[in-house]
Structure 1
Amino acid sequence: MAPDKLFSQACENNKQPILERIRDTFTSPGTILEIGSGTGQHAVHFASALPHIIWQPSDRPGASGHCLGWISESALANIRPPLELDVASASWPVDSVDGAFSANTAHIMAWEEVQAMFAGLAKRMSSGAPFCLYGPFSYGGKHTSDSNRQFDRHLRLQASHMGIRDMDELLKLAEQVGFRLESDHEMPANNRLLVWRKL
């Protein structure tokens, strides 16, 4: 492995289960914006398996280059250079996208940033466009496993703005900005893949 390639074991573990779900969602040619590309392992795996789409990586300012090792090595023509994206900013570096994907970001972002992510995507996606959101979520204030409960506690001790998001709150937010929940898939390691559609 080249020294400039960052590595996430979680990405390595979940990339194929996620792909098996999103390949049924990202079926039409178009540009998919990934929010929080991290190491780039997801970008390379998904773009390689879905040649009909253009994958647009992005990450918060100062972190967008973390994916360059994997992306450069892949030499895939359907991955664009990563963008710096502050979801809370009024100005995003993209005007429109055909779909979006984000993994393990909602519990790291502040709730205000989660709101901004949904609202920003709603402004840039047309009716019927999909947004796939992966990670751990709670339901009605209850965690789906003891490990998620412990993880949530760890996050909140680490930084008060972090924490596993509850589906009740996400559904309210989605309705406010113009998304509906199409499907909620159980995934390995007590995670979920939520597929939202722009109304």
Structure 2
Amino acid sequence: MKRHAPATARNSEALAAVLAQELPRTGLLLEIASGSGEHAVFMAARFPDLAWQPSDIDPDALASVDAWAQETGHPNLLPACALDASQPDWPIGRADAVLCVNMIHISPWAATEGLFAGAGRLLAPSAPLVLYGPFIEEQTPTAESNQAFDASLRARNPDWGLRQVEAIDALAAANGLARTARHSMPANNLTLVYRAA
């Protein structure tokens, strides 16, 4: 039932340090593509005053999230909900923050378009959309490991692959958000923060 993603344990502490700078102290956080649920459990413990709403498109992932939640018992960790980021009918009507970790490069571009459209609908002015993962930047050389990762993703699915930050910035602007922060992370990853205007 419970899934385990090794990368989650490696990046949780570094991500939490950035989230402590960027998230509101209280309110509802919607996590898109929660995967195994290990981030949700870790972050719910780290941010006890935030109601943490995990979500995923995969029923097995939802079951894993809820299994982790049941084991740890954090009162602010809500039951996982089914959510397809590429579709407009999200089960959440508002949020004080949105977090999306390691989804954009392993999903079709339509999922990223839907993510920003949804965040644009849900978030109040100045509320954050936080993205974590590997990206490509026009003015920054791409690490060889990320180049190889991008090639392997595209070989598995031509709709996948590392995304250009500049393309994401343009998509954000089209949905009423603007990038307010860029944090360099371990293993050639970035945390990008967008806020509603």
Question: Shorter-normalised TM-score: what interval?
Answer: over 0.9
2:77 corresponding residue in structure 1: 79
2:182 to 184, 189, 197: 184
2:133 corresponding residue in structure 1: 135
Determine if contact 2:130/2:192 at 8 Å carries over to the other structure. yes
Question: Which amino acid is 1:130 matched to?
Answer: P
Question: Which amino acid is 1:122 matched to?
Answer: G
Determine if contact 1:33/1:55 at 8 Å carries over to the other structure. yes
How many Å apart are 1:66 and its aligned residue? 2.4
| Structure 2 CA distance for aligned equivalents of residues 66 and 143 of structure 1 | 37
Question: Which amino acid is 2:22 matched to?
Answer: T
The more displaced of 122-131 and 57-66 is 57-66
Question: Which amino acid is 1:64 matched to?
Answer: L
Residue 166 of structure 2 is aligned to residue 165 of structure 1: no
Residue 16 of structure 2 is aligned to residue 19 of structure 1: yes
Q: TM-score, normalised by structure 2?
A: 0.96
Moved over 6 A (4+): none
How many Å apart are 1:27 and its aligned residue? 3.1
Determine if contact 2:135/2:190 at 8 Å carries over to the other structure. yes
How many Å apart are 1:90 and its aligned residue? 2.1
| Structure 1 CA distance for aligned equivalents of residues 162 and 37 of structure 2 | 23
Residue ranges of structure 2 left out of the alignment (5+ in a row): none
Question: Which amino acid is 2:120 matched to?
Answer: A
| Structure 2 CA distance for aligned equivalents of residues 145 and 193 of structure 1 | 16
Determine if contact 2:30/2:98 at 8 Å carries over to the other structure. yes
Residue ranges of structure 1 left out of the alignment (5+ in a row): none
**Number of aligned positions between the proteins:** 196
Determine if contact 2:24/2:96 at 8 Å carries over to the other structure. no
How many Å apart are 1:142 and its aligned residue? 6.3
Residues 87-126 of structure 1 aligned to structure 2 (within 5 Å):
87-126=85-124
Which string of whole-angstrom CA distances, capped at 9 and with x for unpartnered residues, describes residues 9-29 of structure 1?
100000000000001111331
